[in-house]
Amino acid sequence: MSQVTARLPDEMIEELDKAARSLRRTRAEIVRQAIELYLEDYQDLAAAIDALRDPADEVLNWEEVRSALLDPDQE
């Protein structure tokens, strides 16, 4: 496992310490989890952007999709 060093504002460290105490975790655990969640969101966002940029990806008409989802008689 590698180590990363970061400089953070004192106010952020105070909030980090409060969260760590409250959750009975270490600073490192809180930071690790925050980075994991950020990277998951980033990967989801990157996949969505790739899909939007793909010219072969079908463009759907919102009104047709909405109607199909809300109309129980359509199949």
**Per-residue pLDDT tens digits for 3-59:** 999 999 999 999 999 999 999 999 999 999 999 999 999 999 998 898 889 888 888
Check if the beta carbon of residue 37 is closer than 8 Å to that of residue 26.
no
Task: Determine if the pTM surpasses 0.85.
Answer: no
Nearest to 20 by CA among 12, 11, 9, 30: 30
One-letter amino acid for residue 47 of the chain: A
Our CA angle for 55, 46, 35, nearest 5°, is 180
Instruction: Record the tokens describing residue 39, joined without a space.
Output: 């990277």
Helices 27-53 & 10-23 angle (0-180, nearest 10): 100
